[in-house]
Structure 1
Amino acid sequence: MAAPRKSSEFYVPDLCRVRAVFMLLITSELMVLVLSIVQAKADWIDWNYFGLLSLFVQWTVLTSAALICLLRNWLARLSVTRSTLAMVIIVLLDVLAFGLFADSVLYPQPGVSGWQGIAKKLLLALLITLMVLRYFYLQHQWQQQREAEMQARLAALQARIHPHFLFNSMNTIASLIAVNPDRAEDAVLDLSELFRASLRAGDRLIPLKDELDLCRRYLDIEGLRLGDRLTLQWDIAPDLEKQAIPPLTLQPLLENAIYHGIQPRPEGGTVTLEASHRGHFVYIMVQNPRPESTISKHDGNRMALANIQSRLQALFGDEAVLKHSHQNDVYTVTLRLPRRTANHSAGPDIEGSRNES
């Protein structure tokens, strides 16, 4: 027996929301306007007919939407066919009740059979309801397909990042084993904890605090290799700890900053990470020295930026922006994310994990 569907999986949108009701009202008024233009004989529009029909349509639309909203949880447990039939019956009974009231009280027409007028209203309501429900169903199917494609795309992009990161990290650890095995062991623990957190497939978005913890683990490994050549400058707004961000978004940027901006320079340099918010957006900036060689053309750098851009677009749409530039021998990558709060924490903090080890 199939498990009952959740209300969030129901193909009809939540009609308790103001936006959904507003769209229904606007659509129904446009339909009334068209019918009033067709009905008019002398003028462009029959305003009398428009006013009466608008009153009738708005009554039925609002009451039908309210009934479907109240019964949403029950309807979601039914099959698509049964829930559709139930909603059609609700709308038709609603139209029948208001049709009888309108014909007998508001605007009775002595020369026309009352049942004939109600039958026309019921037929029109049936056709319109089926068309609207069909639109909702196709829209729901499209959204589910888009969600499945997005998850597959994110999984593929995540898989492309992991081998690149693992290769560079293992090289760092290998260089430490001969000269300082104890610190190499700490680096292995950092790497294992980082992968344990980052390989969670279900974490599409994590708090910025957890992403920064992953970055600190990576920078601890690189700091062991580079020593005093690597200087870090952090400026993170304190109220951004719960900002939602895809996992392994900042780590590849820091990796590029070190491998293309710090490692080629004998004197090293400073990697800057800043995060602030203005209005409804969060801005994250990563800066590093730009060496004399044309590092911006490096394939790994381009791939990392392209992967991050694709992931941000898939999760946030056009609200997310990634830009990179170089000015005065400084290479800058800037992320703009919509202000959102992550629902959970992806893993333990750094110090707690290392103490347990």
Structure 2
Amino acid sequence: MPQYSILTTVKETPLGTDKGINKKDSTDFYVPDLCRVRAVFLLLVTSELFVLVLSIVQAERGWIDWNYFGLLSLFVQWTTLTSAALICLLRPWLAQMSVARATLAIVVIVLLDVLAFSLFADNVLHPQPGVALWQGIAKKLLVALLIVLMVLRYFYLQDQWQQQREAEMQARLTSLQARIQPHFLFNSMNTIASLIASNPEQAEEAVLDLSELFRASLRTDDQLVPLSRELELCQRYLAIEALRLGDRLKLDWDIQPGLEQQAIPPLTLQPLVENAIYHGIQPRPEGGTVRIEVYGKGHFVYLMVQNPKPESSNRQHQGNQVALVNIQARLQALFGEPAVLKHSHQHNIYTVTLRLPARTAS
């Protein structure tokens, strides 16, 4: 066993609790969170572009009617900001409704907001009410209705597309993880089979370690796990390999404290350690050292697995190559471009480096 251990406490919500079962989470609401600065900025930019188009169409001389542009910008920006603020405040309440009722409620909120600002603006500009005044207000309400329905339709389609994308990604991750499991089982069972006749007690211990490994690997519902759990998985795997390789396998752990809850896809580090043993340790009669290093730098967490440089004549282990491709695919699906997997050769040392965005596993 390597001289390294790490403990982790995972908080689980009992299945019988009411939290998150009878009530919908506001994060599932199809309208984005309008409390965010980015969402408000996009709304303001989009509404201003709409005002610009209307000002160009309205202009009788030149390209744009600047007076109309200024007045309409003031009106549209105030109605956009106040409507967004109201929807933001009422978001938890709206999220409990059906899509149709939430849409109707949002439409009513926006139209009432537009009506209030229309009455205020027209009373300031035209103190004497008349038929033309109410016709102008009716036009504003009609335009606001059409715009809000188009925007809500866009939000709904985006939400449906996002849900479909997440479902496809989950199916892809489950498929990728399932490909790793037979490969891992094949290598581990060969190790245990070689120990049954020579050392049954160690074989029994290896079977217990293997059962814990598969308990973790069969949790296909977990997209991200704490780094501590992944390191424990590696520790159990290396315990099995240490029984087979003996003194030929030396381990060097360098784990920076405080990174136990870093989020990492399950079965990410273990295939890299397995790759290091099969390419860097097993072909060498004298064995070698596998170094596992984890440290944080800036907004990223780096994981490095080092082993002696494989011999050029050594055939690539196809299963591990598939595992590396799967790891890269899972990293891209979960983290996007910030996640990087790369390898390098330097001073007869082969290094595989993972760069993950600093994120806490929930």
User: What TM-score does the superposition give when structure 1 sets the normalisation length?
Assistant: 0.91
SS in 2 for 1:218: helix
Aligned equivalent of 1:236: 255
Distance 1:294 1:50, change over 3 A: farther
Equivalent residue for 1:246, pick from 224, 246, 265: 265
Aligned equivalent of 2:199: 180
Q: Any idea what the Cα deviations from partners look like across 1:153-175, whole Å, max 9, x if unmatched? A: 01001111111111111111111
Q: Any idea what the Cα deviations from partners look like across 1:291-335, whole Å, max 9, x if unmatched? A: 324447432232111000011111111111111222333221111
2:285 aligned partner, one-letter code: P
Q: Any idea what the Cα deviations from partners look like across 1:54-91, whole Å, max 9, x if unmatched? A: 11111111111122222222222222122112211111
Aligned equivalent of 1:127: 146
CA distance in 1, matches of 2:90, 2:314: 60
Distance 1:121 1:262, change over 3 A: same
CA distance in 1, matches of 2:40, 2:165: 25
Equivalent residue for 1:6, pick from 16, 21, 25: 25
Matched-pair contact (CA < 8 Å) for 2:173–2:330: yes
SS in 2 for 1:331: strand
Q: Which moved more, 1:164-173 or 1:295-304?
A: 295-304
Alignment of structure 1 residues 1-357 onto 2, 5 Å: 5-106=24-125, 113-295=132-314, 297-343=316-362
Matched-pair contact (CA < 8 Å) for 2:177–2:220: no
CA distance in 1, matches of 2:348, 2:82: 65
CA distance in 1, matches of 2:23, 2:288: 58
SS in 2 for 1:100: helix
2:337 aligned partner, one-letter code: D
2:148 aligned partner, one-letter code: T
Matched-pair contact (CA < 8 Å) for 2:295–2:302: yes
Matched-pair contact (CA < 8 Å) for 1:103–1:109: no
CA distance in 2, matches of 1:99, 1:296: 76
Q: Which moved more, 1:243-252 or 1:201-210?
A: 201-210
CA distance in 2, matches of 1:192, 1:144: 34
Matched-pair contact (CA < 8 Å) for 1:262–1:288: yes
SS in 2 for 1:238: coil
Matched-pair contact (CA < 8 Å) for 1:270–1:289: yes
CA distance in 2, matches of 1:122, 1:60: 12
Matched-pair contact (CA < 8 Å) for 1:207–1:341: yes
SS in 1 for 2:337: helix
CA distance in 1, matches of 2:128, 2:273: 77
Distance 1:24 1:295, change over 3 A: farther
Gaps of 5+ in 1: 344-357
Distance 1:14 1:299, change over 3 A: same
Distance 1:340 1:223, change over 3 A: same
Gaps of 5+ in 2: 1-20
2:110 aligned partner, one-letter code: V
Identity %: 78
CA distance in 2, matches of 1:23, 1:328: 51
Matched-pair contact (CA < 8 Å) for 2:310–2:350: no
CA distance in 1, matches of 2:310, 2:85: 64
Q: Which moved more, 1:201-210 or 1:217-226?
A: 201-210
CA distance in 2, matches of 1:109, 1:299: 83
Name the one with the larger helix percent. Answer: 1
1:48 aligned partner, one-letter code: N
CA distance in 1, matches of 2:114, 2:39: 20
- 4+ residue segments displaced more than 3 Å: 2-5, 106-112, 293-298
1:64 aligned partner, one-letter code: S
CA distance in 2, matches of 1:296, 1:337: 30
Matched-pair contact (CA < 8 Å) for 1:236–1:275: yes
User: What TM-score does the superposition give when structure 2 sets the normalisation length?
Assistant: 0.90
Distance 1:280 1:260, change over 3 A: same
